[in-house]
Chains A and B, each alone.
Chain A
Amino acid sequence: MFTSTSDPSTAAPVPQSTAALRLLDVHKSYPGPAGAVAALRGVSLTLPAGSFTAVMGPSGSGKSTLLHCAAGLDTPTSGRVIVGDRDISTLKPDDLTRFRRDHVGFVFQAYNLVPHLSVADNVRLPMILAGRDADPRWLEDLLDAVGLNGKADRRPGELSGGQAQRVAIARALYSRPTVVFADEPTGALDARTGEAVLTLLRDTAHRLGQTVVVVTHDAKVAAAAEQVLFLSDGRLVDMLTSPTAQAVADRMLGLER
């Protein structure tokens, strides 16, 4: 079975550190009708293990692209992405997938669940795909933690939007990954539900000592993070540690002008 140490040939050696995620000068451009469109223009950052980071920025500033590259869902045009102590920018596609299964959790804005699989199967999906049988106790604990006890056999169609996002969060946490990414996980929810879902993500991650990166538009949500990164036009332009909602909102206003 593939583990983070079993196959050193596919990854460059990376100095040991306590960082959960490091990006080194990451560039990403997409082919467009009129030449390449640069979505990321040299992003470098280091996130300590167990940290909770919010990413903010105007629409089109490259937040999703940043998360996709950092999570190994997309490959950067240049630069390095290091998750834990593994440089994932050099992995072959299938090796990268196997790595993601174990070390990366991802919550999308919507359409997170396979409609024909039960809640339990959706949560266990990465492990089912890894061919590993899971620990039913852990599944139960996790569903409990996200407030879905007793709903393990439901189908996604029978859940509300907030419940569906909780399932997605449970799935992202299930493999006890090195980093959990969430791209506007509450974007499709009303304000109250959204807040509840994010609080849940933060608290559960905290209890498990999980590293979390979340893209959000909500200054209040961002204020609950340990640090906030501001992205504009594909560049990391600002950063706040121990943010307040007011400070976050002020910075955002500055960016959008």
Chain B
Amino acid sequence: MSATWRLARSGAMAHLPSLVGPFVVLALAGVLVSGAGVLVESGLRTGGDAGFLVALASSFSGTALLLVIFVVSSTVSLALRQRQRDFALLRAVGATRGQVRQLVSREVTLITLVAAPLGGLVGLLAVGRLTPILESSGMVDPGFELSLSPVPVLSAFVLLLPVAYLAARLATRGTLRTSPTAAVAQSVVEPAGIGPVRRTSALVVAGLGLAAAFSPVFMPGTMGAALAAVSAFLLISAAALAGPVLVAWLVRVLSRLPGGPATQLALANTRGFSRRLTLVVVPLALALGVGTVQATVDETVAVAGTRQLEDGLKADAIVTGDLDAITVDAVSSAPGVDAAVPLASVPAQVMLDEEDAFMGALAWEPLQVRALPAAGVDGLFDPDVVDGSLAALNEPDTVAISRDAKFEAMKGIGDELTFRWDDGKPVRATIVAVYERGLGFGDYLTGEATPAAHGVNVRPDTLLLRTSDAGAAAVADLGVTVTDEQKYVAAAVSAGDGQRDLSTVLLLCLLVFVLVAAANALVLATAGRRDEFTLLWRTGATRRQLRRMLLVESLVIAVCAWLIGTLAIIPAVIGVSAGLLGAAVPPVAWTTYGGMAAVVAATPVSIALTGKTQPITSQ
């Protein structure tokens, strides 16, 4: 066994308590990654409608992965901080920087070897609990079974290993910058400020974050919204990079507060260890920021969708249900009905770019296409066409696409998209119109002729009526369901609730992960300070003062996290609402924000109240 392996193993054994943190976080990351993996795999194997599942699980995996990288690296970094002296000593007795790096990487690899498969297994089993909500959200058919295979567990491992390795490399950077003589320095004081690389990265990431936040202004619909949702993450990453400077500044502002000796001590501590503080503040800020922005974006998209539906529907009454030709005729010819426009909803799959074909099932995006009647919409249905004309939809193999879809596909009028209708054969369709209200009416509209040409039995499920109140009553007498526009919109919007519930559950999983990491960071940061507590105790601090000191520190942490998290939310909230709703009061998800803010405050405080401040009194 090589020397470094031996040292790594004995180091890991000796520091088991401080490695519990990274272990837990890596295991949880394993749960997330393998859980997402199961969803993707099940979606791929099931085919058909489960394509929604693939899309959702892939986007979830993306976010999860970003968070995992972030959280794992900050936890590893925190765990290793406590051993800086050991590493400095090793360097003093002749370890090269490469050897220290290797040592740390190997320790972390050892942990990942155990934690990732373990978490992966748990994820494999736990994800089964999502089946009911998957069914109720309409993502999968009833009776759906997840496919369980070793692949997700394996992928958790394969994915987390490089992440942990990278995290270890990043974490050792700081250690390697300090001189080996730090091992014998009387006290370990953190270097003030940050290096030029870190400063530049912070500025660049902050710039990207702001650009992402305001992307809905330039990018239509869900694309821009999705990008904006990432902005909080980017801004908080920037805050993490600039952390020591930012936190030091915040604490300087806070330290003007008056207070007793315990308070002064706590403020002095937070000033002296702004790096350590950053590592505990950032996960908390992340939970607040990411949670709120995701919820706000979802809410704004829903509001914008509602508004587009309201603006685009001009019907006096709307008949819904499974409508056959006889019913449609009966309603159309009912007394008082001036016009009736039947709309159908046809399941299909679209491939935006034929170059994506190599991705197999992943290249096809499943969706519901609105099919408009050959007789036209008679002004009752207005998707706000900005280019081309809906009349052209009467030709087979034509579609109208939303501006959102146009942006994503990077195609325009006269270009072609590939669809799969009921028969599953890929066919091309020419784009004949582009419209604005994609959030309300969906991204694709077609004429009845197109799906009918490919064997789809186009059956209307909605009938828009121009009529009087008396006419509506007469239609109701025919025994069909009649609603007014307002109720129709409300029902249409709440149809998405199932999917929103599912995203909420997934978001919650992510937040739990981040919060566990945050708690973990706090515990680690406190555990690494027993020597300090002992020293203070010997110098004459009472237990009560130590506890008070920790409490004040935890409040400082909470306030910093709250400030950073809140500041990171603002650009995205403004950007999304400006982009999707125009000039309007941004619909902030206040419940989520309030809940997360409470949790962010409660986490450090409760850990401070229960944490061990016991000085080492023996010896």
* Closest chain B residue, CB of each to CB of A124: B3
Residue B614, interface by CB 8 Å: no
> Of A97, A111, A126, A130, which contacts B184 at CB under 8 A?
A111
> Of A64, A68, A93, A129, which contacts B3 at CB under 8 A?
A129
- Answer whether A100 and B184 are a contact pair too, CB < 8 Å, given A111-B89, A128-B3, A128-B7: no
* Closest chain A residue, CB of each to CB of B2: A131
Chain B interface: which of A3-11, A19-27, A112-120? A112-120
Contact flags (1/0) for A58-88 with B, using CB distance below 8 Å?
0000001000100001100000000000000
Residue B493, interface by CB 8 Å: no
Residues of A within 8 A of B15 (CB): 116
Q: Report whether B184 and A109 are in contact in the complex, using a CB–CB cutoff of 8 Å.
A: yes
Complex Cα gap A8–B14 (Å): 41
Residue A166, interface by CB 8 Å: no
Q: Report whether A74 and B99 are in contact in the complex, using a CB–CB cutoff of 8 Å.
A: no
Residues of B within 8 A of A251 (CB): none
Residues of A within 8 A of B89 (CB): 111-114
Chain A interface: which of B35-43, B90-98, B284-292? B90-98
- Answer whether A97 and B91 are a contact pair too, CB < 8 Å, given A68-B181, A73-B179, A183-B184: yes
Residues of A within 8 A of B181 (CB): 64, 68, 73-74
> Of B6, B10, B97, which contacts A93 at CB under 8 A?
B97
Complex Cα gap A97–B179 (Å): 12
Residues of B within 8 A of A125 (CB): 90, 93-94
Residues of A within 8 A of B7 (CB): 117, 128
* Closest chain A residue, CB of each to CB of B14: A116
Residues of B within 8 A of A129 (CB): 3, 90, 93-96, 99
Within 8 A of A (CB), among B1-48: 2-3, 6-7, 10-11, 13-15
Residues of B within 8 A of A116 (CB): 10-11, 13-15
Complex Cα gap A117–B95 (Å): 15
Q: Report whether B96 and A106 are in contact in the complex, using a CB–CB cutoff of 8 Å.
A: no
Complex Cα gap A111–B93 (Å): 12
Contact flags (1/0) for A178-204 with B, using CB distance below 8 Å?
000001000000000000000000000
Complex Cα gap A115–B82 (Å): 13
Residue B183, interface by CB 8 Å: yes
Residues of A within 8 A of B49 (CB): none
Residues of A in contact with B, size category = 20 to 34
* Closest chain A residue, CB of each to CB of B88: A111
> Of B86, B93, B96, which contacts A94 at CB under 8 A?
B96
Determine how close the nearest CB of chain B comes to the CB of A194; give it in whole angstroms.
Answer: 17
Q: Report whether B10 and A126 are in contact in the complex, using a CB–CB cutoff of 8 Å.
A: no
Complex Cα gap A100–B181 (Å): 14
Residues of B within 8 A of A128 (CB): 3, 6-7
Within 8 A of B (CB), among A93-107: 93-94, 97-98, 100-101, 106
Residue B180, interface by CB 8 Å: yes
Q: Report whether B85 and A111 are in contact in the complex, using a CB–CB cutoff of 8 Å.
A: yes
Most buried by A among B3, B11, B13, B179: B3
Q: Report whether B13 and A131 are in contact in the complex, using a CB–CB cutoff of 8 Å.
A: no
> Of A64, A106, A130, which contacts B92 at CB under 8 A?
A106
Determine how close the nearest CB of chain A comes to the CB of B567; give it in whole angstroms.
Answer: 29
Residue A171, interface by CB 8 Å: yes
Residues of B within 8 A of A38 (CB): none
Complex Cα gap A62–B602 (Å): 49
Residues of A within 8 A of B184 (CB): 108-111, 183
Q: Report whether A101 and B183 are in contact in the complex, using a CB–CB cutoff of 8 Å.
A: no
Q: Report whether A98 and B183 are in contact in the complex, using a CB–CB cutoff of 8 Å.
A: no
Determine how close the nearest CB of chain B comes to the CB of A69; give it in whole angstroms.
Answer: 10
Give 9 nearest A-B pairs by CB, closest first: A116-B14, A101-B94, A126-B94, A108-B184, A94-B96, A128-B3, A97-B96, A129-B94, A129-B95
29 interchain pairs (CB within 8 A)? A68-B181, A73-B179, A74-B179, A93-B96, A93-B97, A94-B96, A94-B97, A97-B91, A97-B95, A97-B96, A101-B94, A106-B92, A106-B93, A108-B92, A108-B183, A111-B89, A113-B89, A116-B10, A116-B11, A121-B10, A125-B90, A126-B93, A128-B3, A128-B6, A128-B7, A129-B90, A129-B93, A129-B96, A171-B93
List 8 other contacts, CB 8 Å, given A106-B92, A129-B96.
A74-B181, A97-B91, A108-B92, A111-B184, A116-B13, A117-B10, A125-B90, A129-B3
| B→A interface (CB under 8 Å) | 2-3, 6-7, 10-11, 13-15, 85-86, 89-99, 179-181, 183-184
| A→B interface (CB under 8 Å) | 64, 68, 73-74, 93-94, 97-98, 100-101, 106, 108-117, 121, 125-126, 128-131, 171, 183
